[in-house]
């Protein structure tokens, strides 16, 4: 994962699993160590329910100008709409990272 400072604010959690893309805005995240992030993910979310131990996911700390990304990922469930249809992102394995974010991290 590499040593990076994690920006506190609006964080997107995105990944692909079994051919489906999942994305959500994380309720709460903090960096616990150089290579550890603690996140609180809602159990009611489709994305949160589909993350399993050992999955590799993307965590993007959005910049202040990415309110459109925040709204797209935060307003609907991943099984209701294609949240990624108009988003600019990069795929690294199963992790999806939002382009232009302040910080993008691939985490397990």
Q: Residue-wise over 60-75: b if at least 16 C-beta within 10 A, else e?
A: bbbbeebeebbebbee
For the chain, percent of residues with pLDDT exceeding 90? 64
* Radius of gyration for the chain, computed over Cα atoms and rounded to the nearest angstrom: 12
Average pLDDT estimate for 99-107? 94
Average pLDDT estimate for 11-37? 90
Q: What share of the chain is helix, strand, coil (3-state, %, to 5)?
A: 10, 40, 50
Distance of CA 99 to the CA centre of its chain: 12
Sketch out the chain's domains with CATH numbers. Answer: 11-107 (2.30.110.10)
* 86, pLDDT greater than 70: yes
pTM: 0.87
- Cα(49)–Cα(52) distance, integer angstroms: 8
Write out pLDDT tens, residues 31-77: 888 878 889 888 788 998 999 999 999 999 999 999 999 999 999 88
Q: What is the 3-class SS of 18-45, one letter each residue?
A: CCEEEEEEECEEEEEECCEEEEECCCCC
* 2, pLDDT greater than 90: no
């Amino acid at each position: 994962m590499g040593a990076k400072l994690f920006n506190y604010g609006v964080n997107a959690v995105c990944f692909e699993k079994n051919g489906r893309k999942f994305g959500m805005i994380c309720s709460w995240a903090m960096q616990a160590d150089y290579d550890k992030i603690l996140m609180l993910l809602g159990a009611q979310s489709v994305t949160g329910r589909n993350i399993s131990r050992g999955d590799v996911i993307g965590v993007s700390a959005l910049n202040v100008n990415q309110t459109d990304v925040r709204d797209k990922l935060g307003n609907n469930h991943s099984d209701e709409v294609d949240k990624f249809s108009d988003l600019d992102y990069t795929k690294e394995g199963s992790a999806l990272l939002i382009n232009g974010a302040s910080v993008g991290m691939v985490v397990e």
